[in-house]
Amino acid sequence: MEKAKISSIQLFLLLSGFIFGSTVILAPGRAARHDGWLAVLLGGIGSILLMEIYAAVALLNPSKTLVDILKEKMGKVVGNLFAILYIWYFIHLASLVLRNFGEFICTVTFPETPMVLVIGLFAILLLYAVNSGIEMMGRLGELLVPAIPFIVFIISLSLLSAHDFTAFLPILENGIVPVLKTALNIISFPFGETVVFLMLFPHLNRKEKLKKVVFISASISVLAGIALTFRDIFVLGTDLMARITFIPHLTAMLIPWLNVEPLVDINLLIGGGIKISVCIYAAAKALSQITGIDDYRKLTSAIFTFCVVLSIWVYENVIEMFDWVEKVWFYYSVPFQIIIPLLLLVLSLRKKQALKGNDIENGNVEQ
Amino acid sequence: MLLILALFAVLIVYDLQKFIQQKAQARVFVLYTFFMTVSLIISLFLAAGKRPSSPAQWIETVLAMIGVVK
């Protein structure tokens, strides 16, 4: 395995940047309308538990990546099959984020520029980052991710006078069902997507801090998500939120005396860039582990090329993209984000129990 | 079409010379060829305006067959 190590603060920032990735432009709580904040809160609690499961799987299998764990727990053939499915999932996720980025930039900032050019240039930049290794990605996160909350804070503060603090009332007007549905969607997007970090956790230099880092990162992301949902509801109102595509962009446009739109672009560049880099790194690394290739970097350019093509191919337009994500993404993601990690946790715990049992038996024999 | 072919040619030549210099394993060539060929074929279809049905549609169809998605 690659000997590169990242510190707990770097992992924390990579995780937070990953969660904020496309969330900064898509506002995942909007489907629950007035109760979006409640959906983010409920989904967030579930997400923290889910991310702790990922951390527990990593801690029960120290220094092993997702591919190693799958092969060890499920056997070589089934393990490799699941690993290939995960590689597809990571590549698909990266291409979705690339498309989100392309759609946003071509709708809002550069309407005359072909999307393939925007996506292609971004991909070249990220290829350089991924080829520089996980340590460089960690340092990049350390340098850039702190800008995200700073920018969000500037935008939110500038809009303080435009708030209608009663806009989130009445609570649960349409019952609890839409809130729960949205909460489930929030678990799968963006929090469940952090399953990709099972390929990165072995690089953490101080393993004992993993659970703490994951918990703090998830909690801060949930709190920030609730704050952002409240801001959007207070500033725009739920009727307008239901009708527009890129909510944070419109929110930023409402500041009368300051043009802060480019700051939303910067947030997406940082968050989306980190998300895509992590996904491609994980996919290339997993593929190199399965096939026994010594260096994952030999595959990154081919995977990036495929990703760019897939991002253009996968949806015909932005409406289809949002419709698919709303209808299909959760069900498609459940096996990758919940079922397989839970299965791995159970198998890892059983192995640990068996080892403990053996130790006690051996101890008894010695006595 | 020509632009796509030229772009892929540049990418492939650049990467292949790197692989040959580094004496990369045969499996690297196989995987690289697989990804690039699929990408090139889909790009040519997209450029010709004949978009093949996408993986998103396949996934939706599979989930609809299982009965998870209506």
Q: Chain B interface, mutation test: which of A185, A303, A305, most B Cβ atoms within 10 Å?
A: A305
**Nearest Cβ partner for A313 among B19, B32, B42:** B42
Checking if the pLDDT of A366 tops 60, the result is: no
Average pLDDT, chain A: 89
Helices assigned H by DSSP within chain A: 8-20, 23-26, 36-60, 66-74, 76-104, 115-131, 134-144, 147-158, 177-188, 210-236, 238-243, 247-253, 261-291, 297-313, 318-324, 330-334, 340-366
Nearest CA in chain A to B12: A302
Phi, psi of A204 (to 5 degrees): -65, 130
Output the pTM of the full model: 0.94
A259-265 long-range Cβ contacts below 8 angstroms, 24+ apart: A260/A151, A260/A154, A260/A155, A260/A158, A261/A108, A261/A109, A262/A109, A263/A151, A263/A154, A263/A155, A264/A24, A264/A25, A264/A108, A264/A151, A264/A155, A265/A104, A265/A105, A265/A108, A265/A109
Looking at the complex, report in whole angstroms how far the Cα of residue A231 sits from the nearest Cα belonging to chain B.
33
- Min Cα distance A281 → chain B (Å) is 16
Nearest residue, CB atoms, B31 vs list A291, A310, A328: A291
Smallest CA–CA distance from A322 into chain B, residue: B56
Poorest-confidence range of A22-26, A94-98, A100-104? A22-26
Q: Mind listing the pLDDT tens digit for each residue in A270-326? A: 999 999 999 999 999 999 999 999 899 999 999 999 999 999 999 988 888 888 988
SS3 A6: strand
**Region of A339 on the Ramachandran plot (φ > 0 left; ψ -120 to 50 alpha; else beta):** alpha
Q: Residue A180 has which token pair? A: 């729960």
Alpha carbons A285 and A292: distance in angstroms, whole number: 10
Distance CA B32, CA B55 (A): 20
- Band of residue A364 on the pLDDT scale cut at 50, 70, 90: low
* DSSP annotation string for A116-157: HHHHHHHHHHHHHHHHT-HHHHHHHHHHHTTHHHHHHHHHHH
Name the β-bridge partners of A6.
Answer: A204
- pLDDT tens figures, B8-53: 999 999 999 999 998 888 999 999 999 999 999 999 999 999 999 9
User: B44 and chain A: CB distance < 8 Å anywhere?
Assistant: no
Interface contacts A/B by beta carbons within 8 Å: 74
CA distance A232 to A236: 6
**Residue A8 CA: distances (Å) to CA of A14, A21, A127, A154:** 10, 19, 24, 27
The answer to whether A94 and A276 are in contact (CB under 8 A) is: yes
pLDDT (average), residues A337-364: 87
Q: What are phi and psi of A6, to 5 degrees?
A: -125, 150
Q: Are A36 and A240 in contact (CB under 8 A)?
A: no
What the block records as the tokens of A147 is: 């800008």
State residue A328's pLDDT score: 92
Give B27's contacts in chain A (Cβ within 8 Å). 291-293
The answer, yes or no, to whether residue A2 has pLDDT greater than 70, is no
Query: Which single residue is written with the structure tokens 């995942």?
Result: A28
Average pLDDT on A115-140 reads 94
Specify whether the CB–CB gap between A166 and A43 falls below 8 A. Answer: no
- The 10 Å CB-count burial string (b at 16+, else e) for A76-90 is eeebbebbeebbebb
Which residues 330-349 in chain A show a CB within 8 A of chain B? 331-332
Q: pLDDT category, A367, cuts 50, 70, 90?
A: very low
